[in-house]
Amino acid sequence: MTDDTLAEGKAADREKWKEKGVALRAFFYIFGTHVFAGFVWLLFYLGGHAQK
């Protein structure tokens, strides 16, 4: 293997690592947003059914 081939392989590994990081971050942001929305919905539901 030449130095160019090794550099290309390392660059490809870094790109795959970045892609995984972006996908993981997107998953957590989407999951967190849904959890927050569910909590807000729960507050409205409980507020609407509270004894007044």
**How would DSSP label each residue in 13-51?**
HHHHHHHHHHHHHHHHHHHHHHHHHHHHHHHHHHHHTS-
Q: What does the pLDDT read at residue 47?
A: 95
Q: What does the pLDDT read at residue 48?
A: 94
The residues of the chain scoring below 50 in pLDDT are none
Q: What does the pLDDT read at residue 5?
A: 65
Q: How many folded domains does the chain comprise?
A: 1
Which tokens belong to 50?
């509270």
Q: What does the pLDDT read at residue 10?
A: 80
Q: What does the pLDDT read at residue 36?
A: 98
Structural domain span for residue 48: 1-52
CA dist., res. 8 & res. 14, Å (int): 10
